[in-house]
Amino acid sequence: MEKFDLQGNPVRALNSALHQEQARMKEFEVSNPGGKHNVACGARYPCSVTIHGHVGYYCAGMNQQADIVIHGNAGPGLAENMMSGSVRVHGNASQYCGATSHGGLLVIQGDAAARCGISMKGSDIVVGGSIGHMSAFMAQSGRLVVCGDTGDSLGDSIYEARMYVRGRVGSLGTDCIEKPMEPEHTEELQALLEKAGMEHRADEFRRYGSARRLYNFEVDNADAY
């Protein structure tokens, strides 16, 4: 196990270690993150990173293959543009968590703020609590699961991402609609809930996605723009 105490130390040494081939299959323990930004960014190899405390902006940014666990809260842009691997926060996450993420699994055990999953491109995001407004804005693909409620304008201008919500939806954004839960959806959702360690039944959720009315410009839809 490799230990990094961030008390009074920059994140450079930690991030640099995560970028080396030698990081493969290693365990990293990070203490005293103290809300620092860019903790564990650009990890490239399968390894595990455990962070004890709160992190600032862009923790686990562009993660590839690493499994990163945060015992605390995370600031804006957690796991932005993640490609693969997993990121789990035991506390809450601020704005734009999982923004543009292409792959991997992001689990927020608490709540996530506004713009959760904005422009997501293929990842899975599972939130144990509730999420803020404008979440999954322009979300392209992947799956967003919310065990609590959502804020307003959920899935505004959404493309092909799928959303499952257990609680109340504040309001749906432009071109986002509720869609029927078919067996394939219940099945994929159940698997996702289990993978994320959430103890809910898939049939408690409703599904939302794109009405696909804005995919090609039509003048009669001008009010929607």
Instruction: Establish if 19 lies at the interface with other proteins (CB under 8 A).
Output: yes
State which amino acid sits at residue 29.
E
Distance CA 197, CA 154 (A): 24
Instruction: Establish if 73 lies at the interface with other proteins (CB under 8 A).
Output: no
Instruction: Establish if 174 lies at the interface with other proteins (CB under 8 A).
Output: no
The answer to whether 49 touches 33, Cβ cutoff 8 Å, is: no
Among 33, 56, 85, 209, binds other proteins (CB under 8 A): 56
Instruction: Establish if 141 lies at the interface with other proteins (CB under 8 A).
Output: yes
Strand-strand pairing, 206-210 and 162-165: antiparallel
Binding pattern to other proteins, positions 184-223, x when CB under 8 A? -------------------------------xxx-x--x-
Nearer to other proteins, 158 or 169 (CB): 158
Nearer to other proteins, 66 or 189 (CB): 66
User: Which of these segments, 23-31, 50-58, 163-171, 198-206, binds other proteins (CB under 8 A)?
Assistant: 50-58
Distance CA 74, CA 66 (A): 17
Residue with tokens 């009074």: 8
Q: Is 66 exposed, middle or buried (0-12, 13-18, 19+ CB in 10 A)?
A: buried
As a dihedral over the C-alpha atoms of residue 133, residue 37, residue 44, residue 145, rounded to 10 degrees, the angle is -20
Q: How far is the CB of 167 from other proteins (least distance, A)?
A: 24
Nearer to other proteins, 44 or 185 (CB): 44
The answer to whether 174 touches 194, Cβ cutoff 8 Å, is: no
Coil, helix or strand at residue 108 = strand
Q: Could you say which residues in the range 149-168 bind other proteins, by CB under 8 A? A: 157, 159-160
Q: How far is the CB of 62 from other proteins (least distance, A)?
A: 4
Instruction: Establish if 102 lies at the interface with other proteins (CB under 8 A).
Output: yes
DSSP conformational letter for 74: B
Distance CA 20, CA 23 (A): 6
Provide the binding-site residues for other proteins, judged by CB under 8 A. Answer: 11-12, 15-16, 19, 37-38, 41-42, 44, 56-58, 61-62, 64, 76-77, 80-81, 83, 95-96, 99-100, 102, 115, 118-119, 121-122, 137-138, 140-141, 157, 159-160, 215-217, 219, 222
